[in-house]
Structure formats: structure tokens, C-alpha cells
Structure 1
Amino acid sequence: MSCRLWTVWNRLRPWLVMALWGLCLWALSPASLTWAADYNKEFLVGADFSHQDLTDSSFTSANLRNSDLSGSNLQGVSLFGANLDSANLTGADLRAALIDNARLTNANLTNAVLEGASAANARFNGATIAGADFTDVLMRPDMEVYLCGIATGTNPITGRQTRDTLNCD
């Protein structure tokens, strides 16, 4: 009996080793280590998300007042209807982000890149936008006029002047 078990073990061992090796390679691959998080409707006041990769995550209708998102990768993130009042978005990458109906009042967007973002009906009153890049951002004309009135600086990542990215006269 033990000889028969030994024979079965010897036949299965290479397959088990290969399966275990494949599982280890998959678990350690970069694709398996990143995933989009769902923070929809969460109460995240004062949360620290600084310098994190939050690509494609969703913060729809989340309360992020006074939160720190500085230096974070927020590409493709949904911030639809989110409260970002007084949030720190310094140097954040918001390319192709959905920030429609978001409240960015008094937010710090210094050197942020918002290229291709959708900001229809977003409110930026009191925001700091020095060096921010608004290239191809969809927003209300009155908000664009408001931002042109306070726009200064050049974005250190894209090399574009904030006023030029807002199409200010």
C-alpha cells in the first residue's frame, strides 16, 4: 500500500509544484496588487489618501472634506457629487477623472493635473489653483471665467500655464 502511495505522490509532485509556482507568480504580479476601491457615499472627513495609487476608484457622493489626497494618482477616479471642501489635492493626478457636481470649494489644487476631466457643475469657489493644468476639462462657462480670474503659475509636470489651459483671454 505504501509503495502505491509513493508512486502516486511521485507522479503528482511535479504538477503540484508547478501549480504552486504559478499561484505564487500570479499573487506577486503588479496586476494582482492593485485594484479599484469603492468609497461611494463614505464619510471620509480628514482622511489621509496622500501619495496613493487610487486609479479608477470610486468616491461617488463621498464626504472628503479636509481630506489629504496630495500626490495621489486619481486617474479615472469618480468623484461625482463628492464633497471635497478644503481638501488637499496638491500635485494630484486627476486625468480623466469624473468630478461632475463635486464641491471643491476652498480645495488646494496647486500643481494638480486635471487634463481631460469632466467637471460639469463642479464648484471651485475659493480654490487654490496655482500651477494646475485644466487642459480639455469640461466645465461650466461661468466657472471657467471665475477660475481665469484667479489662475496663476505653470504646472511642473506638463509645463503648461494654468491660464492657457483654461483658455483665458
Structure 2
Amino acid sequence: MNLKKIITRVFIFTLAISWVGSIFAMPAWSRNYNKEVLTETDFSQQDLTDASFDHTNLKGSDFSHANLTGVRFFGANLAGTNFEGANLRGADLESTRMTRANLNDAVLEGAFMTNVMLDNANIEGADFTDALMSVRTEETLCEIASGTNSTTGRNTKDTLFCP
């Protein structure tokens, strides 16, 4: 076999391996859902670690008991969304609309929650340890805070530093 054929076969083999490797390189849970309309979608019990939902309409969707560690929801419409029992550690919830959202027993440890609309949200048993939010949001949540998180064992009022 001449050198040109060997080099060509090595090159084709390398391309094939690179292509197959690229299929498996990006985990499914880090998918980009940015700017999509996914109203009333069922994401319950899924591992969506590091996924991105920036500016996505997720009104009425179900993320109950999902792993949402590090997920970005920047500017998303999360009105009426169910996050019951979800892991939202380190999630970016900045500038989201979370009116009537269910955060019952959710873990929001270290979440970014500046400029969040949480009107009529259910936060019973939610853990807000080290979550970054405005003083006004914290005070508003303290008025309705109750319960203890079943995963972390922390009292919701304590995680918000309520008086």
C-alpha cells in the first residue's frame, strides 16, 4: 500500500472517531432550550444539570423532583411552574416570572434570584440557604415562609434569615 492511501485511511478513521465522539460529548442534560415555547411541558424527575432555558416560556411546566443543578432560567416565564422537591442548587433564576410557582420542598441553595417575581408562590419547606436575592424579596418571602425541607432538614424561615 502506498503512503498516500495510508494517510487517507488514517485521516478518514480519525474523522470517523471524532464524529462518533462528538455525539456522546455533550450530555443530554446540558441541552440548550433558550427562547423556546415549552408551556405545560413535563420535565419531572429528569436530570437537566447545566441546561439553559434563558428567555423560555415554561408557563405551567412540571419540574417536580428534577435535578436542576446549575440550570439557567434567566428571563424565563415560570408562572405556575411546579418545582416541588426539585434540586435548584446554583440555578440562575434572575429576572424570572415565578408567580404562583410551586417551590414546596425545593432546594435553592446558592441560587441567583435577583429581580424575581414570586407573587403567590408556594415556598413551604423550601431551602434558600445562600441564595442571592434582594432584601425586598427576602422580606416578602419571610411573610409566607413555613416548613422544613425534607432533603436538607433546614427550616425555610432560618434559610431566609427571617426575624
**Normalised-by-shorter TM-score class:** 0.7 to 0.9
Alpha-carbon separation, structure 2, partners of 1:162 and 1:35: 28
* Larger gyration radius, structure 1 or structure 2: 1
2:131 equivalent among 137, 148, 160:
137
**What aligned pairs does 1:75-154 form with structure 2 within 5 A after superposition?**
75-154=69-148
Q: Secondary structure at the match of 2:30?
A: coil
Map Cα deviations across residues 22-59 of structure 1 (whole Å, 9 max, x no partner): xx9x89x9x77544010001101100100000000000
Alpha-carbon separation, structure 1, partners of 2:90 and 2:145: 21
Q: What is the total number of aligned residue pairs between the two structures?
A: 148
Q: Is 1:53 the equivalent of 2:72?
A: no
Alpha-carbon separation, structure 2, partners of 1:82 and 1:62: 5
Gaps of 5+ in 1: 1-19
Alpha-carbon separation, structure 2, partners of 1:35 and 1:126: 30
TM-score after normalising by structure 2? 0.84
Alpha-carbon separation, structure 2, partners of 1:92 and 1:35: 15
Alpha-carbon separation, structure 1, partners of 2:27 and 2:124: 34
Q: Is 1:164 the equivalent of 2:158?
A: yes
Alpha-carbon separation, structure 2, partners of 1:91 and 1:123: 20
Alpha-carbon separation, structure 2, partners of 1:116 and 1:147: 16
TM-score after normalising by structure 1? 0.81
Runs of 4+ in structure 1 deviating by more than 2 angstroms, as ranges, are 31-35
User: Once superposed, what is the RMSD of the aligned Cα atoms?
Assistant: 2.2
Alpha-carbon separation, structure 2, partners of 1:160 and 1:95: 14
Gaps of 5+ in 2: 1-16
Q: Is 1:39 the equivalent of 2:39?
A: no
Alpha-carbon separation, structure 2, partners of 1:113 and 1:133: 5
Contact 2:29 2:47 in 1 (8 A): no
